[in-house]
Amino acid sequence: MLRVGLTGGIGSGKSTVAGRLAELGAVVVDADVLAREVVAPGSEGLAAVVERFGDGVLDDQGTLNRPALGALVFGDDRARRDLEAITHPLIARRTAELFAAAPADSVVVHDVPLLVEKHMGPGYHLVLVVGATEQTRLRRLAATRGMTEADARSRIGAQATDEQRRAAADVWLDNDGPRDALLSQVDMLWHQRLVPFEANVRHRVRAERPDQVVLHDPDPTWPAQAARQLARLQRVLGDVVVTADHVGSTAVPGLVAKDVVDLQLGVRRLEDVDVPSVVAALDDAGFPRPEQTAEDHAKDGTAWPKRFLAGADPGRQVNVHVREVGGPGWRWALQFRDWMRADPVARAEYAADKQRLAGRGASLREYADAKEPWFDSVHERAQAWAVHSGWEPGRG
């Protein structure tokens, strides 16, 4: 099963995307629908709301009078918290039931207006955000809901900003154009990413990788992409993880790199991630283990063991290197990254070596192996920089 979070600001077109995904075969769980369901007539939720706020929140038919309830909780933090204490557990329980009832090969789309505001992103394999400019949204809200500009601006201002949504988005669906353009984006996303991603998660396999090395110009979004993946891993592993870092070339501003996000998880013992329940949780989260054990190319003649995981998302290549905190491999990954960030001469040398090897049309394995002599040749320089600068892990 693939868990997808879907969100977007008011007037962005989120409902259009949810509808199209349902047509394509997704199981859509709509948080707004559930929020109404749990306080429907005869429900335990409605009974609890009436007990707390009184009969004045009911209309003549015994249905929840939402404007009346809104008037009571608007501007009253205690009343709002009391309402949320009633409804949120019921919504969460019903959501879990619907997820559990979905077929094992489903793409389950959770339509949540406040996904970003509630920091829910790490709970999904992928977060989709539908975006549109404020002017586009104002125009739509006036046309479809009859909102005044002042009312629409107030509603937009109360929600997350576009900057916050972009930071949370694995996929940004632009909806400033015609409806058909948005639907085309959704169709492509479904067939090229969501369906194969679900299959990879279900079969516990990594996403396919290109055979040949392709270097990319620096992408300023790489750090944010890494942060989202690290948040997912930390949510799954809990206190098994001691440190979580973005490493490798995509963690170095200004450096050409393969479009692969490398992450390092520091653990107390490598055996902590060998526990069957941990392995299963990582598989379910989309981080299968293609190799049970692995070793880094050591620089001091000793073994540098690690565990290696790879992402199942065909739209985002991720390598996860699990190493023991304080070990030589763990330390070297952080030290080399920070040296590259600090030393423009060394960074230029590394970029030139990468481009030279990529220009030969090397395979991924050949490329990785061919870089090792350069790493070996600069090991002492990196060590000297660390001593001279007073570098320590975590201090940069």
The answer on 190 and 96 residing in a single domain is yes
* CB 160, CB 231: distance < 8 Å: no
DSSP 77: H
Does residue 215 lie within any of the structural domains?
no
* Contact residues for 184 (Cβ-Cβ < 8 A; gap 6+): none
Same domain, 192 and 240: no
Domain end marker among 175, 203, 231: 203
- Residue after which a domain boundary falls, among 203, 233, 248: 203
CATH value at residue 274: 3.30.460.10
Annotated binding-site ranges for ATP: 11-16
One domain, residues 165 and 231: no
Specify if 246 maps to a domain.
Answer: yes
Based on the fold, state whether residues 347 and 230 are members of the same structural domain: yes
Asked if residue 396 belongs to a domain, the reply is no
Residues 23 and 165 reside in one and the same domain: yes
Within 8 A by CB and 6+ apart from 364, the residues are 209, 210, 211, 212, 213
User: How far is the CA of 245 from the CAs of 68, 134, 163, 201, in angstroms?
Assistant: 49, 35, 23, 24
Q: Are 108 and 102 in contact (CB under 8 A)?
A: yes
Q: Identify whether residues 233 and 369 lie together within a single domain.
A: yes
pLDDT at position 129: 97
Assess if residue 211 is contained within a domain.
no
The structural domain count of the chain equals 2
pLDDT one-digit tens code per residue, 325-346: 999 999 999 999 999 999 999 9
pLDDT for the residue numbered 154: 86
Pair (47, 171) in one structural domain:
yes
Q: Which residues contact 323 (CB under 8 A, 6 or more apart)?
A: 264, 265, 266, 267, 270, 296, 304, 306, 329, 330, 333
Are residues 194 and 276 both part of a single domain?
Answer: no
User: What pLDDT is recorded for position 292?
Assistant: 67
Under the phi-then-psi rule, with left for phi > 0, alpha for psi from -120 to 50, and beta for the rest, what region is 13? left
**End-of-domain residue from the set 203, 237, 257:** 203
B/e letters for 38-69, b = 16+ CB within 10 Å, e = fewer, are bbeeeeebbebbbeebeeebbeeeeebeeeeb
Residue type, 194: L
List phi, psi (to 5°) of 242: -100, -45
Contact 25, 77 (CB under 8 A): no
Residues 192 and 272 in one domain: no
d(CA 348, CA 351): 5
Judge contact between 35 and 150, C-beta under 8 A. Answer: no
Identify whether 214 is part of a domain: no
170's enclosing H/E stretch is none
Specify if 126 maps to a domain. Answer: yes
- Domain CATH for 6: 3.40.50.300
In the chain, which ranges are continuous DSSP H helix?
14-24, 31-37, 44-53, 66-73, 77-101, 134-145, 149-157, 162-168, 179-189, 195-203, 222-237, 276-284, 328-342, 344-358, 364-389
| Three-state secondary structure of 261-276 | EEEEEEECCHHHHCCH
CA 359 from centre of chain: 33
User: Same structural domain for residues 234 and 195?
Assistant: no
Of the candidates 229, 223, 270, the residue with the CA atom closest to the CA atom of residue 248: 223
Domain that residue 75 falls in: 2-203
> For residue 345, is it within any domain?
yes
- Token representation of residue 25: 């075969």
- Domain annotation covers residue 171: yes
pLDDT of residue 363: 84
251 and 114 co-located in one domain: no
Q: Are strands 107-111 and 27-30 parallel, antiparallel or unpaired?
A: parallel
Distance from C-alpha of 204 to C-alpha of 290, rounded to nearest angstrom: 9
In three state form, how does the secondary structure of 181-239 look? HHHHHHHHHHHHHHHHHHHHHHHCCCCCCCCECCCECCCCCHHHHHHHHHHHHHHHHHH
- Give the angle subtended at the CA of 57 by the CAs of 54 and 59, to the nearest 5°: 125
302 plus 267 within the same structural domain: yes
User: Do residues 11 and 132 lie in contact, with contact meaning Cβ atoms separated by under 8 Å?
Assistant: yes
Rounded CA-CA distance 111/114 in Å is 9
What are the residue ranges in the chain where pLDDT is below 50? none
- Residue pLDDT, tens place only, 114-149: 999 999 999 999 999 999 998 998 988 888 888 888
